[in-house]
Structure 1
Amino acid sequence: MPRQQSLNNSDSLRAAQMYYLQDQTMDAIAHELHTSRSTVSRLLSAARNSGLVQIQIRSPRERTPELEREIRKRFGVDAHVVPVPDTLNEGEVLERVALQAARTITPLVDSNAIIGVAWGSTLSAVSRHLRQKSTHDCTIVQLNGAGNTRTSGITYASEILRRFGQAYSAKVEQFPVPAFFDRPETRVAMWQERSVQRVLRLQERMTMTVFGVGSTDADVPSHVYTGGYLDETDLDELAASSVVGDVATVFFRADGSDNGIALNARSSGPPLALLRNVRRRICVVSGVSKINGLRGALAAGLATELILDEATARRLVEDSATELPTNR
């Protein structure tokens, strides 16, 4: 009887390399690995589900590769464009993008990584599609607090973090502070606490961040704008400062600048300068209605990799005929 092997990443990788790169049959792989053909089939399925193998179908008439090249050329980021039909609503598009994002992120996660994760509608969707990958000494750290006057936000944010931690066998570090403090001086005092400084030091050592782009006018509203985090005075203040979006509750304008935006002094999110220092910064965006926030985030140099739907990618390329100055 052939020896049955456990379904781990090493076995899956070896089987996938033989099948996809060496054109070996499943029978030949089973013989070499001393296992059964059915086990090889499961290994190949595990390789696809974990993101070790990503299958792409390219039509000669499809614009996706062209859009990815144009975005890289114009904005200096690696783009992953998700083809979706124009008939889908934004909720359905979000699910398609979230699934692709989860499959793209997993192969990039390494052991000993410190991964900053923002909370929000987009990351909540991404977290539901994450696949298992074994790592060691990996840490998931919350990028910004989630509390407000209505709720602690712990349940909502912790569920997203829990899914990331569970997927990658990682330690989870929550950030149990408000999303926005009532006064800037309160944040300054809170940032002196040793328990808070421990989380801040982790954020300073992040090797990867994963985040969406918040927008006030998206068809699928960003959680920060619908969850009681901002009142009418805050929203008026953002409009007066020409804010187009946020990343982890830190706001910016269309040109990527964030100086003089008063609400940022009360935000628990990381400074944009800190985010720009992280080696790998994965931005996930779904929906054309977030285009202004996305352009602002790109102008600010916040992303090294971008995962977005095809319609938004087309709009991004078409609207970039007149380049905006960047604040990198």
Structure 2
Amino acid sequence: MTPSRHSDALRAAQMYYLQDLTMDAIARELRTSRSTVSRLLSAARDTGLVQIQIRNPLDTGPELESMIRREYNVDVHVVPVLESLNEAETLDRVAIQAARTIGPLVDSNAIIGVAWGSTISAVSRHLTRKITHDTVVVQLNGAGNMHTTGITYASDIMRRFGSAYGARVEQFPVPAFFDHAATKTAMWNERSVQRILDLQARMSIAIFGVGSVHADYPSHVYAGGYLDESDLKMLAHSDVVGDVATVFFRRDGSSDGIVLNERSTGPALAQLRQVRRRICVISGASKINGLRGALSAGLATDLIVDEATARRLVGFGGVAWPNG
């Protein structure tokens, strides 16, 4: 918004929400139309000037958040979603909440690492604009595979983050997985690649979803042609339950001995744990094992999760953890 429109939206919001004036009364005071006031109020909500909270005495979210916080030492936002919704609808609800949560955490002079994937793609479509200065959005892992460069898919996500925060975007034009670990080693010595790796090493915020082998709503890395049958068998043999930025781990959070990680272009889990703010967004109870692995590995400082998955995570309300 322009400074003038921003000021008008703020003034309209204060009169409507704090002074209980009607839209007609606000329109008269601002010497404008009722429809313009309605648009100003919508703009105030969309840009975060107004944040609406509903306090439901029957809401179990706070109790769930407290249980997860105690067990996994993360700041958590549980998104109330009816279990009758399908995974795509649930994902959209979680993405909206995640976008609203991420915005206030982004500031000027930040380096924001973003991992591509179905969940973060959904989040990127709901980001609200926030003006920052000298902020950089850097892609965390390559996106190419044997069928596509992946540039369009990943760049759309990065572009939305860059546009939302007025940030410079740095893409990572390498494949998601190299065919040979030696090729990765050689590429990592190239100065053009080292420039991106240096940005990743200095990021202050990392934003990612959790890929899961058995999710009902397939993670992009498993559904987009990145892994062949031999790769999938190798992951199953290593008891892999999920990945963050195409780096794989087991249910207990361990990742040692997983051969495919030697060819992955995502940041090592030990490096990711060094980032001050690590925001994990997850939707869908079928990703529960991947989520438990990511939390056991200490990959997240902040978690945004739908209510059904949160319940399964801590066995709340008599819901048992699934096997596998």
State if a TM-score over 0.5 links the two structures. yes
From 92, 108, 112, the equivalent of 2:109 is 112
Please name the residue that 1:142 is paired with: 139
Relative distance call for 1:219 and 1:73 in structure 2 (3 A) is: same
Per-residue deviation, 1:132: 1.2
Relative distance call for 1:18 and 1:261 in structure 2 (3 A) is: farther
Per-residue deviation, 1:111: 1.0
Report 1:93-172 matches (<5 A): 93-172=90-169
For residues 221-240 of structure 1, what are the alpha-carbon distances to aligned partners after superposition, in whole Å with 9 as ceiling and x for unaligned?
00000111111111111111
Per-residue deviation, 1:104: 1.2
Q: What secondary structure is seen at the aligned counterpart in 2 of 1:140?
A: strand
Please name the residue that 2:276 is paired with: 279
Please name the residue that 1:326 is paired with: none
Instruction: Give me the whole-angstrom Cα distance separating, in 2, the residues matched to 1:62 and 1:134.
Output: 34
Relative distance call for 1:271 and 1:75 in structure 2 (3 A) is: same
Q: Mind listing any 5+ residue stretches in structure 2 that lack a counterpart?
A: none
Per-residue deviation, 1:36: 5.5
Instruction: Give me the whole-angstrom Cα distance separating, in 2, the residues matched to 1:99 and 1:93.
Output: 10
Letter in 2 for 1:178: P
Please name the residue that 1:91 is paired with: 88
Identity %: 70
Report 1:169-318 matches (<5 A): 169-318=166-315
For residues 16-60 of structure 1, what are the alpha-carbon distances to aligned partners after superposition, in whole Å with 9 as ceiling and x for unaligned?
67876xx44559xx99xx956867765553332123433221221
Instruction: Give me the whole-angstrom Cα distance separating, in 1, the residues matched to 2:39 and 2:122.
Output: 26
Please name the residue that 1:75 is paired with: 72
Q: What secondary structure is seen at the aligned counterpart in 1 of 2:5?
A: coil
Per-residue deviation, 1:157: 0.3
Per-residue deviation, 1:5: 6.2
Please name the residue that 1:56 is paired with: 53
Q: Mind listing any 5+ residue stretches in structure 1 that lack a counterpart?
A: 324-328
Relative distance call for 1:72 and 1:7 in structure 2 (3 A) is: farther
TM-score by length of 1: 0.88
Per-residue deviation, 1:211: 0.5
Per-residue deviation, 1:307: 0.6
Instruction: Give me the whole-angstrom Cα distance separating, in 1, the residues matched to 2:200 and 2:21.
Output: 45
- 307-316 vs 52-61, greater mean Cα deviation: 52-61
Residue pair 1:91, 1:220 contacting (<8 A) in 2 also: yes
Q: What secondary structure is seen at the aligned counterpart in 2 of 1:155?
A: helix
For residues 162-204 of structure 1, what are the alpha-carbon distances to aligned partners after superposition, in whole Å with 9 as ceiling and x for unaligned?
1111111111000000100011110000000000000000001
Per-residue deviation, 1:109: 1.0
Q: What secondary structure is seen at the aligned counterpart in 1 of 2:281?
A: strand
Letter in 2 for 1:162: R
Instruction: Give me the whole-angstrom Cα distance separating, in 1, the residues matched to 2:20 and 2:52.
Output: 18
Please name the residue that 1:7 is paired with: 5
Per-residue deviation, 1:86: 1.3
Q: What secondary structure is seen at the aligned counterpart in 2 of 1:6?
A: helix
Instruction: Give me the whole-angstrom Cα distance separating, in 1, the residues matched to 2:108 and 2:116.
Output: 22
Instruction: Give me the whole-angstrom Cα distance separating, in 2, the residues matched to 1:13 and 1:76.
Output: 36
Residue pair 2:144, 2:150 contacting (<8 A) in 1 also: yes
Residue pair 1:243, 1:253 contacting (<8 A) in 2 also: yes
Instruction: Give me the whole-angstrom Cα distance separating, in 1, the residues matched to 2:166 and 2:280.
Output: 22
Provide the aligned length of Structure 1 versus Structure 2.
313
Instruction: Give me the whole-angstrom Cα distance separating, in 2, the residues matched to 1:302 and 1:322.
Output: 24
- 54-63 vs 306-315, greater mean Cα deviation: 54-63
Per-residue deviation, 1:61: 1.2
Report 1:5-44 matches (<5 A): 6-8=4-6, 23-25=18-20, 44=41
